Amino acid sequence: MMPSRVRLLSAALLLLAACQRPSASRSALGGGVPPRQAPVFPGGWRFAPGTPAAFGEKFMIASNERRASDAGNEIIRAGGNAVDAAVAVGFALAVTYPVAGNIGGGGFMVIRMADGRNAAIDYREVAPLAAHRDMYLDAQGNPTNESIIGYRASGVPGAVAGMAEALSKYGTMTLSQVMQPAIKLARDGFTVDSALYGSLASSKEYLARFDARDVFYTNGAPLTIGSTFKQPALARTLEYIAQQGPKAFYEGIVGDSMVAAMTRGGGIITTADLKAYKPEWRTPIRASYRGYTLFSMPPASSGGITVTETLNMLETWPTLPAWGTPEYAHILGSAYQRAFIDRNSKLADPAFVKVPIEQLTSKSYAQALAKTIDPAKKTPTPKDGSQIVDGMHTTHYSVVDDKGNAVATTTTLNNGYGSAVYLKNVGFFMNDEMDDFATAPGKPNMFGLVQYEANAIAPGKRMLSAMSPTIVLDPRGELLLVVGAAGGPRIITATSQVILNVIDHRMNLSDAMRAPRLHHQALPDTLMVETGGLTKEAEDGLRRIGHGIRYMGGLANVNAVMRVKGGWEGVSEPRVGGTGGTSAR
Ligand code: GLY
């Protein structure tokens, strides 16, 4: 349907489409499936197509930090499954990737067992019981930065309870077993690399105001490259959890330390908050797209619904315009814009707000929305918003084990190093997840995202997330792709573009990850594009039909695993060169 929509806006783009050429890359599917194609990236784009991905015959783990991925590898080699490994990676990231790996934050995990069971666990933080709708507004009703920095910015952490719960239901090992690699990394230390050094150097001002300065900036400078970084306080905390279970995080010495720090610093998390925290099992959002099946995260994340709504709109085009054309960017950006309008106004913690999941993920709703996309004109978002800013952090990891079980996990402190509050005697950073609420409904948060009443603060409520851990099955029902991202609202757009690059544009995983990304989140009403990610012709074509374009240094941080002939390919985000880590066998 809608063939008029795919008409070309400029002849140059026909040329681009025609330039796509088949490659001899491994393909998991047999006859009848088009081969993978090498894309043509715009001249000057930072990556060339054709970079080989890591390959594992038996299993694959892709995260932002190799030593954390190795922790999962060790667990699978010892007989653990993908869930055991995912929990090992999660705890190890808290040690080796403190910018986003955490025990003081929260996350979401989507699980697909080889026997066909699917599950999703929500261990998102919740607003403390003393939280209230206007707690971050100044006397003039404007949001302050207290939802971002300092003691009042934290929600009640969910990571420890969530990972332990996932393990108890789908894992095969004990918490103590899967935590050993993380404990060892914390106790015996690991070598500081340029990635950790660079991250600390760029966050010095942010972190120096709290106790992290005594641990990460001894002598006033970031940890030295090549030195061994030991974290005895964190090792002790992890040992308590390993021995006593998640309770040891929420009560006892660790829980008391959290509450004492909050009391000292003006935070509001209490003993009652910690005791009340519970992860929630959810039914994954199940979507179909061109014969493929997706399992993704339902609310309290917006990820699964927004990805599904976008893909459902795109599916109304029998064939999408070629990758790299302005027609494709226009359709994609317009679909994101519409999905984000719903996301920003209708999605929230389902315990507090009735979320119309059925409607938003239905094909008929998407068809009606897709009809409003005019191929010749960009549609404005009803109200203007403010600038988007950089500086967020979250981390995603994808695990496939040797039995074909798969786990997609995204975890976060929100901002890099969370609220900057570091609890020195127990060794971890606290999140600043309260900023994911609409702290001032109708006004932008730190991602420039304008959200409304549904996501206003209330005690005990989970703040809406964009995390989109997703597992894709091919049309035969076999595991194909495990994917997700960091990057605030750009998680949704980056995750779905890797999926589209693989399914529609037939890229191999390495190219799908390296292809320039774009983003639209309704407000600000601008198409965000990675610098160098559009040809001049594509940019002109988009501007001609009314798109404002804002170039960004990099959009999101994805880690993915994909089935190929004979095994699995894994790719860690190439945009953060040097910090990536796959681990395989
Ligand atoms: N803190 C980022 C997210 O949850 O979407």
Report CA 244 to chain centroid distance, whole Å: 30
Ligand 1 atom, smallest distance to 486 CA: 2
Half-sphere exposure of 126 (CA within 13 A, CB side): 26
Query: What pLDDT score was predicted for residue 383?
Result: 56
Ligand 1 atom, smallest distance to 464 CA: 4
Q: Using CA atoms, how far apart are residues 90 and 240, in angstroms rounded to an integer?
A: 17
Query: What pLDDT score was predicted for residue 443?
Result: 86
What is the average per-residue pLDDT within 180-189? 98
Residue position matching structure tokens 């959810």? 282
Record the tokens describing residue 405, joined without a space. Answer: 């079980």
Q: Using CA atoms, how far apart are residues 570 and 51, in angstroms rounded to an integer?
A: 12
Residue position matching structure tokens 């010892």? 78
Q: Using CA atoms, how far apart are residues 192 and 198, in angstroms rounded to an integer?
A: 10
The DSSP code for 437 is S
The CA-based angle 486-128-215, given to 5 degrees, is 60
Of 512, 491, 435, nearest in space to 155 by CA: 435
Q: Using CA atoms, how far apart are residues 91 and 75, in angstroms rounded to an integer?
A: 12
Residue 543 · residue 507 · CB < 8 Å: no
pLDDT tens per residue across span 431-440: 999 999 999 9
From the CA of 414, how far away is ligand 1's center (Å)? 6
Give the pTM.
0.93
Q: Please state, for a pLDDT cut of 90, what percent of the chain lies above it.
A: 88
Ligand 1 atom, smallest distance to 436 CA: 1
Phi, psi of 89, rounded to the nearest 5 degrees: -65, -45
From the CA of 496, how far away is ligand 1's center (Å)? 16
Alpha carbon nearest to ligand 1 atom 2, residue: 488
- 412 CB near ligand 1 (under 6 Å): yes
- 414 CB near ligand 1 (under 6 Å): yes
pLDDT tens per residue across span 472-530: 999 999 999 999 999 999 999 999 999 999 999 999 999 999 999 999 999 889 999 99
Residue 334 · residue 311 · CB < 8 Å: no
Phi, psi of 504, rounded to the nearest 5 degrees: -85, -40
From the CA of 26, how far away is ligand 1's center (Å)? 34
- 394 CB near ligand 1 (under 6 Å): yes
Query: What pLDDT score was predicted for residue 213?
Result: 96
Q: How many CB atoms lie within 10 A of CB 330?
A: 26
Record the tokens describing residue 372, joined without a space. Answer: 């409003």
Query: What pLDDT score was predicted for residue 471?
Result: 98
Query: What pLDDT score was predicted for residue 444?
Result: 81
Q: Using CA atoms, how far apart are residues 212 and 43, in angstroms rounded to an integer?
A: 43
What is the average per-residue pLDDT within 341-348? 94
> For residues 422 and 44, which has the higher predicted lDDT (pLDDT)?
422
Length of the chain: 585
Residues 6+ apart with CB under 8 A from 405: 81, 82, 83, 111, 112, 113, 114
Query: What pLDDT score was predicted for residue 223?
Result: 98
Best residue among 102, 307, 394, 411 to mutate for probing ligand 1, ranked by most atoms within 8 Å of CB: 394
Record the tokens describing residue 263, joined without a space. Answer: 């009391």
> For residues 24 and 42, which has the higher predicted lDDT (pLDDT)?
42
Looking at the predicted structure, is the pLDDT value of residue 19 above 50? no
Phi, psi of 207, rounded to the nearest 5 degrees: -85, -20
Alpha carbon nearest to ligand 1 atom 1, residue: 414
From the CA of 226, how far away is ligand 1's center (Å)? 32
Q: Among positive and negative, which fits the CA dihedral 447, 448, 453, 456?
A: positive
| Domain ranges for the chain | 4-55+318-348+357-390+468-584, 77-281+403-455
pLDDT tens per residue across span 260-307: 999 999 999 999 999 999 999 999 999 999 999 999 999 999 999 999
What is the average per-residue pLDDT within 232-239? 98
Query: What pLDDT score was predicted for residue 445?
Result: 75
Q: Using CA atoms, how far apart are residues 382 and 359, in angstroms rounded to an integer?
A: 22
Best residue among 99, 147, 436, 449 to mutate for probing ligand 1, ranked by most atoms within 8 Å of CB: 436
Residue 7 binned pLDDT confidence (cut-offs 50, 70, 90): very low
Q: Using CA atoms, how far apart are residues 418 and 429, in angstroms rounded to an integer?
A: 6
Record the tokens describing residue 17, joined without a space. Answer: 């489409």
Of 20, 209, 56, 135, nearest in space to 463 by CA: 135
CATH architecture of 4-55+318-348+357-390+468-584: 4-Layer Sandwich (3.60)
Element (H, E) at 251: none
Segment among 116-130, 166-180, 229-243, 447-461 with least mean pLDDT:
447-461
Query: What pLDDT score was predicted for residue 33?
Result: 79
From the CA of 305, how far away is ligand 1's center (Å)? 15
- Percent helix, strand and coil across the chain, each to the nearest 5: 35, 20, 45
Query: What pLDDT score was predicted for residue 32?
Result: 66
pLDDT tens per residue across span 45-103: 999 999 999 999 999 999 999 999 999 999 999 999 999 999 999 999 999 999 999 99
Looking at the predicted structure, is the pLDDT value of residue 388 above 60? no
Query: What pLDDT score was predicted for residue 392?
Result: 61
Residue 4 · residue 375 · CB < 8 Å: yes
Q: Using CA atoms, how far apart are residues 190 and 200, in angstroms rounded to an integer?
A: 16
Q: Mean pLDDT, the chain, as a whole number?
A: 92
What is the average per-residue pLDDT within 200-211? 95
Report CA 536 to chain centroid distance, whole Å: 30
Alpha carbon nearest to ligand 1 atom 4, residue: 465
From the CA of 433, how far away is ligand 1's center (Å)? 7
pLDDT tens per residue across span 304-320: 999 999 999 999 999 99
Record the tokens describing residue 427, joined without a space. Answer: 């060794």
Query: What pLDDT score was predicted for residue 26?
Result: 42
Q: Using CA atoms, how far apart are residues 311 and 448, in angstroms rounded to an integer?
A: 24
Record the tokens describing residue 44, joined without a space. Answer: 């000057």
- Which amino acid is located at 457 in the chain? I
Catalytic, 394? Answer yes
Residue 361 · residue 371 · CB < 8 Å: no
What is the average per-residue pLDDT within 29-40? 79
Residues 6+ apart with CB under 8 A from 523: 344, 381, 383, 384, 385, 444, 448, 449, 450
Report CA 275 to chain centroid distance, whole Å: 27
Best residue among 491, 492, 493 to mutate for probing ligand 1, ranked by most atoms within 8 Å of CB: 491
Query: What pLDDT score was predicted for residue 403?
Result: 98
Catalytic residue (choose from 237, 310, 316, 394): 394
Q: What's the first-to-final CA gap in the chain, in angstroms?
A: 45
- 467 CB near ligand 1 (under 6 Å): yes
